[in-house]
Amino acid sequence: MNETKELPRTREQVQSDLDFIHGSIWPADVRQMDNIVGRIRRRGASSEYADIRIWKLSPLGVELLDETAELIFRKGEEVDLQIVIFGERSSYEGLIVDVVRDRGPLHFFGVRLSVASEKEFDYQLQERRKSDRWLCSDEFFPTCIAVSPGRYNDYIYFKVRDISARGVRLTCSLRNKFLLKGMILKLTMSLPLVGNALVTVRLVRLRIISANGRDLLEVGAEFINLSERAKTALAQYLIQFSCVDDLDSLRVQGLLPPSVANGADFYFIKSEDDYRKVLNLRHYAHSREGNIVDSDVGPEDMADMRDAAGRILVGKYNGKVIATGRISFPDADLPLEQEAYVDWPSDLPGRDKIVELGKVCTDPNFRGSDLFARLIQQVMATCVRLDRPNVVVVALPKLLKVYKKLGCRETGLTHEQPFWNGVQHVLIVNGFDVCLGRGVSPVVWNLIYREPFEYLVENGFVEVAGMDLVRVRIYKFFSWIAPVMRVFQKFRVR
């Protein structure tokens, strides 16, 4: 009696059970001409695998055809299964969902798939969950293209839903039947406003989800040997279009974007809310650097009367001010801030030719990026455009070398204030000169001043001739220095 109950039923009797292994995916028919083969054996058996024909295939299950009727499997039996698609072999653990006898000796086996090496993936999946995941922007989502396994001249189109340093979450159409867990794919990833990245991934999770009223196949994939170039491209996309809190959250994952400034909006503040954020940043940055003498100083103490007379430039990222500097335009009625502490020498430019840059600071959590460089670029383009080429800055001793490398020269004027910890050095730089490469190295010019120079020339604010033209052309031959220095900076920060 028991043997009778376990006899295979007809295909019509168990069609619903076979459909169950594929979920809502309509499986693909596998023809003998397709380069897809299968091998099967009982779970844990020491016997060799037996060849078996694959009849239908989906990412969730497989229907097998035994044309010889020599393989005896029962419903509920566990099996080891190998599937080879165009030479790529994947191993699975399967469960016989049902056995179907169809027209004589033909036997169909419906097998629900799970990755045979799932335990190997468990640790990696747990580790990836511990790492940060960043959602991709719906307005600027990345896409991937991969060659479809098992199909000639066919491609799979993926949307990238989120990214981590260990892998990605992808979605695609249910028409892609030949995606299986454990499979390795080479993806060409297109990152908006960043470029393309070539990545190799292993598929570790497949499931069906609903989004915007339609069913999709969700694919969890882990990176295999992610290249430095791909890490840089992914980091740049995340800093521009995702919700990265700070650079440290990327650095600990081995990612660092070449440009943080490209993900920030730079503008002159127009609201009280922005001004409060500026004061908070000034206080946070200078407190972290130990520049403030009194530890009881609060953000409100970082304001002064000259804020109202100047223009405050900010770089904002995800609603947070991460860089700021104040630009003042002295005139007959508004003396330089430094004139409150020193007498301004007559041999230095007059007020009508000066822009005063003060209160410069960047968020310590975004240090090691190009935020400071972008601030300087904005100031230089502004001062030359307004025919006020001379920029006056004040530097504490720890930043003196930095400003000198940018082309600033000491005026010999120094002063001390009870509020600040250290002697203040007054420096001056001619924005017109440094944009033409005068007094700065090719490295600094390509890193800092090349962009404002090209902007000023393109808009007719600067004409280049004579030795300036020769110098600029020579400096442009060193354009490779900028990316090399950014790579060096990345490793130095690490």
**What mean pLDDT is predicted for residues 347-369?**
90
pLDDT for residue 489: 52
CATH code for position 101: 2.40.10.220
CATH code for position 317: 3.40.630.30
pLDDT for residue 148: 84
pLDDT for residue 118: 42
Kindly state whether residues 291 and 378 are assigned to the same domain.
Answer: yes
Residue pointed to by tokens 């000796």? 105
Per the rule left: phi > 0, alpha: psi between -120 and 50, beta: everything else, 102 is beta
User: 307 with 350: CB under 8 angstroms?
Assistant: no
User: 27 with 174: CB under 8 angstroms?
Assistant: no
pLDDT for residue 251: 84
What confidence tens digit (pLDDT) does each residue in 137-149 have? 888 889 999 988 7
C-alpha dihedral sign at 27, 31, 35, 39: positive
Domain holding 383, by residue range, is 262-430
Q: d(Cα 49, Cα 42) in Å, to the nearest integer?
A: 9
Among residues of the chain, what percentage have pLDDT more than 90?
38
CA distances from 421 to 290, 325, 396 (A): 7, 19, 8
208 or 33: whose pLDDT is higher? 208
Confidence of residue 481 (pLDDT cuts 50, 70, 90): low
Kindly state whether residues 215 and 110 are assigned to the same domain.
Answer: no
Tell me whether residue 443 is in a domain: no
**What mean pLDDT is predicted for residues 51-64?**
83
Kindly state whether residues 326 and 345 are assigned to the same domain.
Answer: yes
**Residue 420 per-residue DSSP state:** B
Kindly state whether residues 298 and 417 are assigned to the same domain.
Answer: yes
Among residues of the chain, what percentage have pLDDT more than 70?
86
Domain boundary among 115, 144, 160: 115
Tell me whether residue 125 is in a domain: yes
Spatial neighbors of 190 by CB under 8 A, at least 6 apart, are 142, 143, 144, 145, 196
Kindly state whether residues 168 and 74 are assigned to the same domain.
Answer: no
Tell me whether residue 457 is in a domain: no
Tell me whether residue 490 is in a domain: no
Tell me whether residue 475 is in a domain: no
Q: d(Cα 124, Cα 462) in Å, to the nearest integer?
A: 56
User: 37 with 77: CB under 8 angstroms?
Assistant: no
pLDDT higher than 80, residue 451? yes
Kindly state whether residues 224 and 287 are assigned to the same domain.
Answer: no
What confidence tens digit (pLDDT) does each residue in 10-53 have? 444 445 456 667 777 778 888 777 778 888 888 877 778 888 88
E strand residue ranges, 378-445: 390-395, 409-415, 424-430
Tell me whether residue 392 is in a domain: yes
* Mean pLDDT, all residues of the chain: 83
Tell me whether residue 351 is in a domain: yes
In terms of Cα–Cα distance, which of 440, 358, 443 is closest to 407?
A: 440
User: 317 with 238: CB under 8 angstroms?
Assistant: no
**Residue 368 per-residue DSSP state:** T
**Residue 382 per-residue DSSP state:** H
Domain boundary among 115, 141, 174: 115
Domain boundary among 115, 143, 173: 115
User: Max alpha carbon distance in the chain (Å)?
Assistant: 114
Tokens of 354: 């000066």
Kindly state whether residues 291 and 379 are assigned to the same domain.
Answer: yes
Query: Radius of gyration of the chain from Cα atoms?
Result: 33
109 or 427: whose pLDDT is higher? 427
User: 21 with 97: CB under 8 angstroms?
Assistant: yes
pTM of the predicted structure, to 2 decimals: 0.72
Kindly state whether residues 208 and 284 are assigned to the same domain.
Answer: no
pLDDT higher than 80, residue 445? yes
pLDDT for residue 411: 93
Kindly state whether residues 145 and 25 are assigned to the same domain.
Answer: no
pLDDT for residue 315: 93
Which H or E run includes 308?
helix 306-309
Q: d(Cα 215, Cα 171) in Å, to the nearest integer?
A: 10
Kindly state whether residues 159 and 45 are assigned to the same domain.
Answer: no
431 or 493: whose pLDDT is higher? 431
Tell me whether residue 461 is in a domain: no
pLDDT higher than 90, residue 325? yes
Concatenated DSSP letters for 69-136?
S-----TT-EEEEEEEETTEEEEEEEEEEEEEE-STT-EEEEEEEEETTHHHHHHHHHHHHHS--EEP
Q: Domain count for the chain, please give it.
A: 3
Kindly state whether residues 267 and 318 are assigned to the same domain.
Answer: yes
Q: d(Cα 107, Cα 65) in Å, to the nearest integer?
A: 6
Kindly state whether residues 284 and 413 are assigned to the same domain.
Answer: yes
Residue type present at position 276: R
